[in-house]
């Protein structure tokens, strides 16, 4: 097929598509990117990057002569034989992945037929490859083959994850198709897992579900630590030294968010249910993640009693640092919950402009952390942006009506903050009230009716 000569096609220029396109160009390939969003394509053609991803702008700029953007399938398909699909598969109301955009792509490709390989990078339910092939054959597109090549890109580290991955997974029915796709990764030094299409699809779901399980597990350990005076940070360190466990994804906090984990865990649960299997463990993983956000509110109530007419400052809104992504961010639930308790909420995030924001109705988004903390009765660190570690906390203390700080990511130096006069509390650290009545949260009583048991200090 001569992929070295014919450019690679990438359909969908969101995070995954754009990063993949830039990285393939960096590896020396010519790439044609298609998106149905005309504004986005026009912006990219003019060198304007619509998303924030460290290093992406430079990579696109450095490889500009190998990259082209279009909205025309005719244009894309006349140039490319290998087509990577990187369109959104958001959750549908039933919890299943919404594959309407994938179906649209398949329809466009089927209509034009030809001798091609459709390579699925989007996360799709196990079995999708079979359905797509069926759709293609039903429409007479016999020359279009299918390969599953799931992505494992973390936002904020996506370029590194693409160019230095832990593994490349390629699921193909025809080994020759797999060979062709594997050849495109020449220059990437990583083990390649060659397998069937459904196995490749499952590797993606199982990986994300396992990582989410690790997070919910350590969050539950954190909650138990609070009751017994242990410190989850050292527990995680001690556990992580066991090479069978490993040190990663054992950071306790207010739970996982983002565009992948919540959606993929839900979709895997749904997929199992659709085939008659009740995936018990994933139910717990999801529930723990939901309750973990409410736990932070319960901590405030434990210290302050009612939150009615109190002012709470949120530090960080994105689902994690180094991204501008607010999808499934804990801050959204937290802000709504706090307002539901009658509190006024101010917030600051380095990537969210000051003013009102549709995702945060009623919340004042401030232009600086100091502004968000001014006159606040409590502050919650929601996203561990490095700049919060460098804040002049002594000055912040003076700004606050009450120097109560709940560190939802265990990211700050609790001892230093306590020495600076803060009432500091992490999650699962030894600085909270031991044996406090937070069971209302862990037992699923979302009213969070907690006692006002005093702290140890």
User: In the complex with ligand UDX, which residue's Cβ is closer, 83 or 250?
Assistant: 250
| 225 is an active site residue | no
Query: Minimal CB distance to ligand UDX: which residue?
Result: 260
Do 391 and 369 touch, CB atoms closer than 8 A?
yes
Beta strands of 341-437 (E only): which ranges?
344-348, 364-365, 378-381, 404-407, 423-425
Among the candidate windows 23-31, 77-85, 254-262, 306-314, which touches ligand UDX by CB under 6 A?
254-262
User: In the complex with ligand UDX, which residue's Cβ is closer, 58 or 154?
Assistant: 154
Tokens matching residue 415: 């001892």
User: Of the listed 23, 80, 225, 260, which one is catalytic?
Assistant: 260
Do 230 and 430 touch, CB atoms closer than 8 A?
yes
38 CB neighbour count, 10 Å cutoff: 9
Please name the helix (run of DSSP H) or strand (run of DSSP E) that holds residue 315, with its range, or none: strand 311-315
x/- map, 211-230, ligand UDX, by CB under 6 A: ----x---------------
Beta strands of 112-255 (E only): which ranges?
116-120, 144-148, 168-172, 192-195
- Give CA–CA dist 14/388, Å, rounded: 29
Task: Tell me if 153 contacts ligand UDX by CB under 6 A.
Answer: yes
Do 7 and 76 touch, CB atoms closer than 8 A?
no
- Give CA–CA dist 132/126, Å, rounded: 12
User: In the complex with ligand UDX, which residue's Cβ is closer, 328 or 377?
Assistant: 328
User: In the complex with ligand UDX, which residue's Cβ is closer, 144 or 181?
Assistant: 181
Q: How many CA atoms lie within 13 A of 85 on its CB side?
A: 28
Of 55, 131, 249, 418, the residue at the interface with ligand UDX (CB under 6 A) is 249
Task: Tell me if 431 contacts ligand UDX by CB under 6 A.
Answer: no
Of 69, 261, 348, 424, the residue at the interface with ligand UDX (CB under 6 A) is 261
* 67, β-bridge pairs: 31
User: In the complex with ligand UDX, which residue's Cβ is closer, 317 or 400?
Assistant: 317
Q: How many CA atoms lie within 13 A of 143 on its CB side?
A: 10
x/- map, 317-356, ligand UDX, by CB under 6 A: --xx------------------------------------
User: In the complex with ligand UDX, which residue's Cβ is closer, 151 or 177?
Assistant: 151
Task: Tell me if 151 contacts ligand UDX by CB under 6 A.
Answer: yes
Task: Tell me if 279 contacts ligand UDX by CB under 6 A.
Answer: no
Residues 78-137 that bind ligand UDX (CB under 6 A): none
Least Cβ distance, residue 258 to ligand UDX (angstroms): 3
- Dihedral of the CA atoms 47, 50, 52, 55 (nearest 10)? -20
Do 379 and 370 touch, CB atoms closer than 8 A?
no
Among the candidate windows 148-156, 180-188, 273-281, 437-445, which touches ligand UDX by CB under 6 A?
148-156
* Interface ranges with ligand UDX (CB under 6 A): 151-155, 208, 215, 249-251, 253, 256-258, 260-261, 319-320
* Enzyme catalytic residues: 260
């Amino acid at each position: 097929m001569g992929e070295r000569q014919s450019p690679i096609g990438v359909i969908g220029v969101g995070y995954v598509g754009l990063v993949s396109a830039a990285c393939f160009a960096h590896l020396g390939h010519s790439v044609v990117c298609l998106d149905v969003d005309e504004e986005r394509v026009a912006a990219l053609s003019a060198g304007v990057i619509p998303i924030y991803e460290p290093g992406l702008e430079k990579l696109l700029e450095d490889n500009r002569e190998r990259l082209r953007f279009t909205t025309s399938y005719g244009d894309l398909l006349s140039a490319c034989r290998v087509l990577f699909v990187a369109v959104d598969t958001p959750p549908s109301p039933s919890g299943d992945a919404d594959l309407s955009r994938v179906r649209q792509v398949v329809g466009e490709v089927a209509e034009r037929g030809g001798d091609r390989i459709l390579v699925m990078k989007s996360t799709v339910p196990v079995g999708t490859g079979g359905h797509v092939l069926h759709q293609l054959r039903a429409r007479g597109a016999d020359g279009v083959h299918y390969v599953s090549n799931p992505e494992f890109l973390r936002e904020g580290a996506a370029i590194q994850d693409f160019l230095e991955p832990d593994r490349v997974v390629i699921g193909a029915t025809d080994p020759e198709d797999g060979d062709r796709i594997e050849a495109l990764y020449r220059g990437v030094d990583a083990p390649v897992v060659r397998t069937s299409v459904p196995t490749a699809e499952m590797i993606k779901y199982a990986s994300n579900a396992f990582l989410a399980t690790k997070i919910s597990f350590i969050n539950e350990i954190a909650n138990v630590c609070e009751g017994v005076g242990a410190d989850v940070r050292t527990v995680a360190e001690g556990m992580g030294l066991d090479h069978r466990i490993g040190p990663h994804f054992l950071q306790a906090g207010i739970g996982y968010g983002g565009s992948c984990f919540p959606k993929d865990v839900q979709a895997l649960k749904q997929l199992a249910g659709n085939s008659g299997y009740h995936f018990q463990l994933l139910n717990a993983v999801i529930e723990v993640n939901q309750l973990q956000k409410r736990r932070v509110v319960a901590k405030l109530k434990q210290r302050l009693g009612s939150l009615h007419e109190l002012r709470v400052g949120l530090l960080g809104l994105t689902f994690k640092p180094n991204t501008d992504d607010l999808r499934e961010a804990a801050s959204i639930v937290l802000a709504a919950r706090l307002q539901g308790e009658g509190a006024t909420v101010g917030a600051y995030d380095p990537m969210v402009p000051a003013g009102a924001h549709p995702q945060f109705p009623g919340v004042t988004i401030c232009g600086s952390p100091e502004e968000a903390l001014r006159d606040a009765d409590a502050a919650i660190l929601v996203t561990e942006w490095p700049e919060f570690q460098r804040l002049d906390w002594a000055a912040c203390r003076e700004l606050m009506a009450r120097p109560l700080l709940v560190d939802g990511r265990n990211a700050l130096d609790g001892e230093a903050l306590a020495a600076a006069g803060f009432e500091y509390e992490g999650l699962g650290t030894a600085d909270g009230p031991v044996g406090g009545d937070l069971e209302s949260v862990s037992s699923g009583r979302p009213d969070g009716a907690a006692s006002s048991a005093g702290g140890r200090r």
